[in-house]
Structure 1
C-alpha cells in the first residue's frame, strides 16, 4: 500500500512539475508544492504574432501603420502593382522593419513602406516583420529612413531636401555635420536644399518630374522669381536645356562684372605724355570722347589765360 502511495505521490509531483512547479518540500513523508503552480503569462498585445525569436515575426497588416514622418511621400503606382504581383507569386522575401508605439498600440514602419503598400494591394492579411526593440528618437528614425531611401534612390529631389532640413533642425547640425553623419558629400546637401528656395510653382514642376533637378538647381542662382519662372517654363517646354540656362546665366554674370568694374583707360601721346580716363561706372567711347573734348577746352582756356604749370 505504501509503495502505491509513493508512486501516486511521485506521479502527482511530475504533473505539478509539468505545470510549472519547480521545487517540492517534504511534510511527514508527503510532498507538497512550496508555492502555487506558475503558468505562462498571457501574451501582451505587443507580443501577439511574434515567434520564439522575438526579433522576427508575422503581424496582421491592420496592426502595422506607416510612419507619418517618413521622408518619402510619393510611390509609383506601376511599381507597387509589380511588387504586389511578385508578393502573390513568390511571397515576401525580406521582412519590413517596425517599432512599437505604445500610444497608438501599433507597430510603426521604420523601413519597408513600399512592401507594406504592395502587400495591402495584393490583398495579403499578414506581413513578415523585423522588430526593433530599443527606443528610437525621431532623429534616429529619420536618419535610418533617409539613409535607406538614399541608398535605394527612392526619394524625389524635394523629399530629399526636406529630409535634410528636418535632420539639421532636429540635431542643430550644419551642412558639414549632416554630410558626415550620412556619409555623403556636402555639395549634395547644398544642391538639394537650394531647391527649397525656388517659388512653389517651380518646386511643383520639380516634384512632378517636369523640371529636372539639375536644371532647377541652375535656377537657384537667379535672384528674380519672375526670371526663375520664365526660365523654368522654357525648360519644361523644351526650348532651353540645362546647358542653355547655365550659359545664359554665365553670360549675364560676365556682363554684370564688366558693368561693375568701371573704366580705366590710358592714352599715350607722341610727346611722351600719358592721358588717363577713369570712371567708377561703365562708360562708352562716346562718353570718353566727350570728356576728352571738355578737357581740351579746359586746357585751351588755361593757355589763353596764361596759366602756367
Structure 2
C-alpha cells in the first residue's frame, strides 16, 4: 500500500511513562489515577471548608465528576500538578474514587501564567478569602513589576478593587487573622486600614466585638472617623458638588488639591464601597 497505508498519526509509546498513563493519543482530556495528582503549593487559595468539600464529595458519588480539573506535568515531581480545580480534587479523594478526570495542559506555562489562571478562576467562582485574594494580587504585581492599575487591566478587575484589597495587607497579622477567621468583615477591615498606624487600628478594635454583620461597617466607620478626627488637622482642599436628574446631590471633597482624574478614581472607589454595603445588607439611615 506504500506510504498512504501508513498511519501517520503519532502514537504514544507502547510502554507508557508516568506522564502517559490513562491518556489517549492527541487528546487533551483523560482520566488518571488520583495518586498521580498533587495540589500546587503556590495556589492562592489555601483554606477549604470541610463541609463544602463533603457536600461536593456526596454529589460526585451520586452524579460523578461533572467537570475535569486542569493539570500540568511536573518532571521534578513525576506527578500532575493542579492548575485549577483543587476543590474538585479534594472532593474526589473524599469520595474515595481511585481516578480523576483531567484536562491536560500541553503548552508550558510560566509561573506568572499559572498564577493568573488560578487567580482568575478563583475570582470568577468567588472562592478566595479576602486576605488570600490580597496576597495573590500582591504576588502577581511583584512577579511582573505591575502597578495595581496594570494588574487590573491584565486580569480584568477594577483597579479600585485591587487597591482596597491590598490595603488589607497593611493591617498587622493579628487583625488579618481576624479577617481570615470571619471575626472581622473585609469591609470593616478596610475601614481600619485607613488609620495611620497599628496602635490606632488595634484601639479601634479594643471593644472586642465580633464585627461580621452589617452594623459592623457603621461602627467601624464611626471609630475610624473619631480616631482620624483626633489625629488629623483640617486642611483646605477641594470640594465639588454634582446634581443628578432624579434629585441626588453628590459631593466630592478632599483635604488636598487634586484633578478630575483623581476625582474619577475616588468616585470609582466610592461606587465599589456602595456595592459592598449592598452585599453586606447595610441600610441607609
**Rounded Cα–Cα distance in structure 2 between residues aligned with 1:70 and 1:138:** 11
Q: Which is further off, 236-245 or 110-119?
A: 236-245
SS at match of 2:43: coil
**Rounded Cα–Cα distance in structure 2 between residues aligned with 1:143 and 1:226:** 35
Q: Structure 2 vs 1, CA of residues 40 and 237 (structure 1 numbering), >3 Å: closer, same or farther?
A: closer
- 5 Å matches for 1:99-248? 99-234=72-207, 236-237=209-210, 241-248=216-223
Residue 246 of structure 1 and its aligned partner are, at CA, apart by 1.4
- In structure 2, list runs of 5 or more residues that go unmatched: 7-11, 237-285
- Post-superposition CA distance 1:274-298 (Å, at most 9, x none): xxxxxxxxxxxxxxxxxxxxxxxxx
SS at match of 1:59: strand
**Rounded Cα–Cα distance in structure 1 between residues aligned with 2:93 and 2:83:** 17
**Rounded Cα–Cα distance in structure 1 between residues aligned with 2:203 and 2:13:** 71
- 5 Å matches for 1:1-309? 41-234=14-207, 236-237=209-210, 241-254=216-229
Q: How many residues align?
A: 227
SS at match of 1:215: helix
Residue 233 of structure 1 and its aligned partner are, at CA, apart by 4.2
Residue 254 of structure 1 and its aligned partner are, at CA, apart by 4.8
In structure 2, the residue matched to 1:279 is none
Residue 231 of structure 1 and its aligned partner are, at CA, apart by 1.8
**Rounded Cα–Cα distance in structure 1 between residues aligned with 2:57 and 2:13:** 39
Q: Is the 8 A contact 1:96 1:115 kept in 2?
A: yes
Structure showing greater relative contact order (alpha-carbon pairs closer than 8 Å, 6 or more residues apart): 2
Q: Which is further off, 224-233 or 117-126?
A: 224-233
Question: Pairwise CA RMSD of aligned residues?
Answer: 2.4
- In structure 1, list runs of 5 or more residues that go unmatched: 1-13, 23-38, 262-309
**Rounded Cα–Cα distance in structure 2 between residues aligned with 1:182 and 1:232:** 34
SS at match of 1:83: helix
Q: Which structure's CA Rg is the greater one?
A: 1
Q: Is the 8 A contact 1:51 1:57 kept in 2?
A: yes
Residue 227 of structure 1 and its aligned partner are, at CA, apart by 2.3
Residue 52 of structure 1 and its aligned partner are, at CA, apart by 3.6
Q: Structure 2 vs 1, CA of residues 204 and 40 (structure 1 numbering), >3 Å: closer, same or farther?
A: closer
Q: Is the 8 A contact 2:195 2:228 kept in 1?
A: no
**Rounded Cα–Cα distance in structure 1 between residues aligned with 2:141 and 2:232:** 35
**Rounded Cα–Cα distance in structure 1 between residues aligned with 2:181 and 2:126:** 16
SS at match of 2:207: helix
Residue 105 of structure 1 and its aligned partner are, at CA, apart by 0.8
TM-score by length of 1: 0.68
Q: Is the 8 A contact 1:235 1:241 kept in 2?
A: no
**Rounded Cα–Cα distance in structure 2 between residues aligned with 1:40 and 1:47:** 8
Residue 236 of structure 1 and its aligned partner are, at CA, apart by 3.3
**Rounded Cα–Cα distance in structure 2 between residues aligned with 1:199 and 1:141:** 29
- Post-superposition CA distance 1:152-179 (Å, at most 9, x none): 0000000000001110111111111000
SS at match of 1:70: coil
